[in-house]
Structure 1
């Protein structure tokens, strides 16, 4: 067991805490953000992490000098992380050493026997011109689409910033008023088709549903805000990758007086009556806390950490029947030489709709591997020379796949899938890696599942309308005092900035329930943090760092 702990050495004065301690299960983004918020209020906090390093799905994979992000490869909405760090003397820029990417990413979309290439930039006039080239009028529709989603992001504010601990929370006036603007009962695909005439334009503002592990056809239209977040906040690369950002947050948490116990797998919760009083580690040692925050994969934690009598509506039957995101097969390749690709490339196969059907059939149960898969390549070495040894490049390749409800044997499936993807890189991009690979690491749906991710669903529970707000696992676990949950499987959902917002709501609720004054400054509405121009009178001009 590796325990990381130091004394506080920042200049803020901490009053004695009204809480003896808080325990957090998991040093993923949600656990780290919650820990920082509590520690910055002087609350003694311990994080228990099963792995030998922090980050969870966001940790760094390292081999022979090559570094790869295990999961997320880009950072959105640094302003939200600024809120988490408000009392620490740090900012997202100071802990992450962030670089804004321009273009944000490249889209290569197969259509009618050719490839439409879109280099997505924050300059909306350039995007208007490019989409009008694809189909006259689609560029003008893009500006109107942005204006719509600026309003929608404002309406989404009560959902993003509040916990939903009961169905009655959905009837708060601010939620009801905002909910009417979110258009939740149509699919993202349907709404996009009402704005854009050409399928390529629709994909360009709809592929972001894959950030949630969903297709545009099954994703509620309220998530049309996702492309707006990119254009309004930019796409950023933390120096050393998102895994290094998580390590920096862990270091900050320790500097604030927190404790991280690495290699400390939690096997259960210590529940006495209707009160959660701590955690039990695999060595059967008990560690008592006033509150426990669970940052493990939500569905897995419910089934494996919670005693059956406290699972409530989220029992084993419900978690089994629940809808889950897709999974991913990952190739982490350390290669000789430079690679002629931008930082982010999304290759969309001509049979993209078939890809989506292959992946999501019967919520993955009948899923198969596509003949011509779409995939995403991250080439961080073009931006960050710390990711690979001199003269080399680190390549991250993500292929969306069915989750483990499919029962596919990935020891048999991965070799053929790998060859398809590397073959496409050679034939479509002229990048032949056959004699250049020095290091190769992989993840499959099976290995994700072995990492305590239910069904290997890398984006956790699906974000369908019947699994959102109060119908998603709550921050405050019902019927049990002192038990809380954070992370992508809980409200408000997955994605780093959204997980951070959920952690903030949870930490603020813990402080309030314990009678501790919340010292965080008032938050600005999320939509007002964006810096973009849609042509609407109320918006700000585009700014670039």
Structure 2
């Protein structure tokens, strides 16, 4: 623990998403007395949940990747993934429907069969598949060992022999975008799209994402895709219980209004001002504050201008990840046409991404969309004889697109996106009566992300993983103006996604310990 910190030091964590809950649990295990302030009545943040008429929907992340990151986090707290979760390995990993092609392509839980699929779609692509995945595995291993678990407080970790030996290759991977990297090895547009789509997980586009992130293909084509029984709300609930077991106090209905600081030339945090569930102003004293709220909101709304590390002017040169229209559907009858995960790719998806990221932006039509059918694996998420669908339509990060609603009562532009997505799924997957079988419908739009989660520009994910917004160029996890103020979550290092949020929680502990290493902390804490 950092010099001057003693057991019993009060700490406040803003936000009870996965990053906030994980940070609180680790800090409590370090000896801090931790309170979590959550503005909403439910836990989870982006990894939320909604129930209606016997259906239970995850409203956020739905891909369980990087299991070793979860394993390590649980072991830090003296437990394990096996004790905390009932994981199911999916097979197929996902099914892809391509515009203009009659048959979908399945990526399965077997590397050799995936190699065969590549070879069938493009003769000779099997050998290229092996080389591509070998490169992806090496890049992923390097990222875990050298980049993801460092705070970048020191750059000595980047001067290790392992990094220096790969320096020329790493520079090439950083300079060239993912789409061009895939195109150098594969000609079939379907294969290029399969290898390029992980950019969406990173809140970016294949043409904006450094090809270093081809490491993501190791995860879905080789390492495997999993589903936690009970959905991702079970992951959130389990981490919340671990935090409480460490002594963390979680307060819901507590909306942070300001990070309080001392006066003088070297300000430090003194606590957090918030409104309680009754609307009464309150103050919680603390010597350490960790905000896991959106970094833009934290910096521009919770701190005075003079104490902002990332003022409004800094954000004018940054790129937001895409917004999203989410469509939660309860459907009568079976839907075997859809896998647990299904992807729908348009032919001109370069135009899709351009509409999302290039001014003037517009909503793609048709769109490349994602559909999750958790009821394929977990029958508890839908009543007997029904299916549960989660549909994500990437759109520009623009709250002006509007809010969603229940039963088609969202803003017209949001409901129109949902209608088109339902029609597209119906046509491409061969489910002609899909719309007629919907018994529950809710939509969520970019304005909901902005209002409910204080998301910058209504982005569904956070700042995009472009070259200028990755690794040490991403927002740091410590304030440069206020001592004792730290950040965690998808808008800071190491980045977007549940595994990254778990790592970001660990990086706060490393900051407090003055640990500048690149390796994960010893297990358990």
1:304 maps onto 2:301 in alignment: yes
3-state SS of 2:281 partner = coil
Distance change (3 Å), C-alpha of 1:250 and 1:304: same
Asked whether the equivalents of residues 151 and 510 of structure 2 are also in contact (C-alpha less than 8 Å), the reply is: no
* 1:541 equivalent in structure 2: none
1:326 maps onto 2:316 in alignment: no
* 1:63 equivalent in structure 2: 52
The 5 A counterparts of 1:58-457 are: 58-110=47-99, 113-115=100-102, 117-156=104-143, 157-165=145-153, 172-173=159-160, 179-182=167-170, 183-273=173-263, 274-282=267-275, 283-312=280-309, 314-340=310-336, 341-362=338-359, 366-404=360-398, 407-409=400-402, 411-431=411-431, 432-451=433-452, 452-457=454-459
Residues in 2 aligned to 1:77 and 1:171: alpha-carbon distance in whole angstroms: 23
Query: Post-superposition shift, 1:49?
Result: 0.7
* 1:48 equivalent in structure 2: 37
Query: Post-superposition shift, 1:434?
Result: 2.6
3-state SS of 2:390 partner = strand
Residues in 2 aligned to 1:155 and 1:388: alpha-carbon distance in whole angstroms: 41
Asked whether the equivalents of residues 90 and 109 of structure 2 are also in contact (C-alpha less than 8 Å), the reply is: no
Residues in 2 aligned to 1:67 and 1:243: alpha-carbon distance in whole angstroms: 10
3-state SS of 1:67 partner = strand
CA deviations on 1:87-110 (whole Å, 9 max, x unpaired) are 434222322221111111111122
Asked whether the equivalents of residues 289 and 485 of structure 2 are also in contact (C-alpha less than 8 Å), the reply is: yes
* 1:502 equivalent in structure 2: 504
Distance change (3 Å), C-alpha of 1:87 and 1:324: closer
* 1:4 equivalent in structure 2: none
Residues in 2 aligned to 1:87 and 1:202: alpha-carbon distance in whole angstroms: 38
Distance change (3 Å), C-alpha of 1:397 and 1:65: same
Residues in 2 aligned to 1:477 and 1:178: alpha-carbon distance in whole angstroms: 32
CA deviations on 1:146-168 (whole Å, 9 max, x unpaired) are 111222123323210100247x5
Distance change (3 Å), C-alpha of 1:309 and 1:116: farther
Task: Work out which of the residue numbers 483, 487, 490 in structure 2 matches 1:488.
Answer: 490
Query: Post-superposition shift, 1:226?
Result: 0.7
* 2:479 equivalent in structure 1: 477
CA deviations on 1:117-153 (whole Å, 9 max, x unpaired) are 2211232211111111111111210110011122212
3-state SS of 1:203 partner = helix
Gaps of 5+ in 2: 404-410
Residues in 2 aligned to 1:396 and 1:311: alpha-carbon distance in whole angstroms: 38
Asked whether the equivalents of residues 423 and 435 of structure 2 are also in contact (C-alpha less than 8 Å), the reply is: no
TM-score, structure 1 normalization? 0.86
CA deviations on 1:439-490 (whole Å, 9 max, x unpaired) are 2111111111112101011111111111223322111211321110001110
Query: Post-superposition shift, 1:414?
Result: 2.0
3-state SS of 1:334 partner = strand
Residues in 2 aligned to 1:318 and 1:42: alpha-carbon distance in whole angstroms: 35
Asked whether the equivalents of residues 104 and 234 of structure 1 are also in contact (C-alpha less than 8 Å), the reply is: yes
3-state SS of 1:148 partner = helix
Query: Post-superposition shift, 1:522?
Result: 8.6
Residues in 2 aligned to 1:170 and 1:24: alpha-carbon distance in whole angstroms: 29
Distance change (3 Å), C-alpha of 1:390 and 1:171: closer
Residues in 1 aligned to 2:164 and 2:494: alpha-carbon distance in whole angstroms: 16
Residues in 1 aligned to 2:315 and 2:502: alpha-carbon distance in whole angstroms: 24
Asked whether the equivalents of residues 402 and 446 of structure 2 are also in contact (C-alpha less than 8 Å), the reply is: no
Asked whether the equivalents of residues 336 and 391 of structure 1 are also in contact (C-alpha less than 8 Å), the reply is: yes
Distance change (3 Å), C-alpha of 1:323 and 1:170: farther
3-state SS of 2:504 partner = helix
* 1:461 equivalent in structure 2: 463
3-state SS of 1:181 partner = helix
3-state SS of 2:57 partner = strand
Distance change (3 Å), C-alpha of 1:178 and 1:310: farther
3-state SS of 1:440 partner = strand
Asked whether the equivalents of residues 94 and 339 of structure 2 are also in contact (C-alpha less than 8 Å), the reply is: yes
Residues in 2 aligned to 1:95 and 1:52: alpha-carbon distance in whole angstroms: 24
Asked whether the equivalents of residues 132 and 139 of structure 1 are also in contact (C-alpha less than 8 Å), the reply is: yes
CA RMSD after TM alignment: 2.2
Asked whether the equivalents of residues 335 and 436 of structure 1 are also in contact (C-alpha less than 8 Å), the reply is: yes
Gaps of 5+ in 1: 1-15, 524-545
The 5 A counterparts of 1:3-22 are: 18-22=7-11
Distance change (3 Å), C-alpha of 1:318 and 1:512: closer
Query: Post-superposition shift, 1:197?
Result: 1.8
* 1:537 equivalent in structure 2: none
CA deviations on 1:293-316 (whole Å, 9 max, x unpaired) are 11001112111112211113x111
Query: Post-superposition shift, 1:63?
Result: 1.6
3-state SS of 2:440 partner = strand
Query: Post-superposition shift, 1:169?
Result: 6.2
Task: Work out which of the residue numbers 12, 17, 27 in structure 2 matches 1:23.
Answer: 12
Asked whether the equivalents of residues 27 and 54 of structure 1 are also in contact (C-alpha less than 8 Å), the reply is: yes
Greater shift after overlay, 222-231 or 90-99? Answer: 90-99
